Amino acid sequence: MRAIDPYRTRRFALDADRAALLVVDAQRYFLEPGSRGRVPWARPVIARIQELGSAFRDRGRPVVMTRHAHAPDGSDGGNLAWWWGGLLREGRRSSELMPGLLPLPGEPVLAKRTYSAFLGTGLEPILRRGPVRDLVVAGVATNLCVETTVREAFCRGFRVKVAADACSAQDARLQLGSLRAMAFGFADVCLARDIIGEL
């Protein structure tokens, strides 16, 4: 956080009665050794995400998860298939949520096929019904799906907090660069324990 603090343009107190937790793509694909998409620091964030989830549920606030996966034949791959040369596909073990992060009954798990958790998922209507003003975001990968989602949430009028220690990127430089960029222009970047303390 010392490396992020100089870039923290805006801090705000969480409106706990109008807050929701969004867990982005916390899937086996990013966790398992040998996976093409493995994020080395993904495993330590599981505990932080679990703590956040418990705190939001105890407060009676929504917990929403996304799961990134494409059609088995890859027909919906679009630019991601072109860019990465491969896809995370439905029906494979790698597309499942990380162990310990399963939703409770009634909690939505939204299928997504691009970096943004808003495009084609129905996320915004779920949040509007909340009603949600403040969105706390955690998940993988910080510099791709998390950051894209945070930027879009900001542009759609949500106030955003990012739990820095409940997100993970492919390496420390990408993690820090992404967190700094979000702190500067889109989100209050802080620690999970600080967010929990505001609930």
pLDDT digits (tens, 9 = 90+) for 68-116: 999 999 999 999 889 988 888 888 988 999 988 999 999 999 999 999 9
Is there a catalytic annotation at residue 112? yes
Cα angle 185-165-119, degrees, rounded to a multiple of 5: 55
Q: What's the pLDDT at 123? A: 98
User: Which residues of the chain have a pLDDT value below 50?
Assistant: none
Stated pTM of the model:
0.96
CATH of domain 5-198: 3.40.50.850
**Identity at 58, one-letter amino acid code:** D
- What pLDDT is recorded for position 84? 87
Domain ranges within the chain, ordered by starting residue: 5-198
* C-alpha pair distances (Å), 148 with each of 86, 151, 196: 20, 5, 24
Q: Which residue in 5, 73, 112, 194 is the catalytic one?
A: 112
Q: Which of 134, 145, 165, 167 is catalytic?
A: 145
* Catalytic residue check, 25: yes
Catalytic entry in 15, 17, 25, 155: 25
pLDDT (0 to 100) of residue 40: 81
Tally the residues of the chain. 199
- What's the pLDDT at 6? 96
Report the pLDDT value the prediction gives residue 38, as an integer from 0 to 100: 85
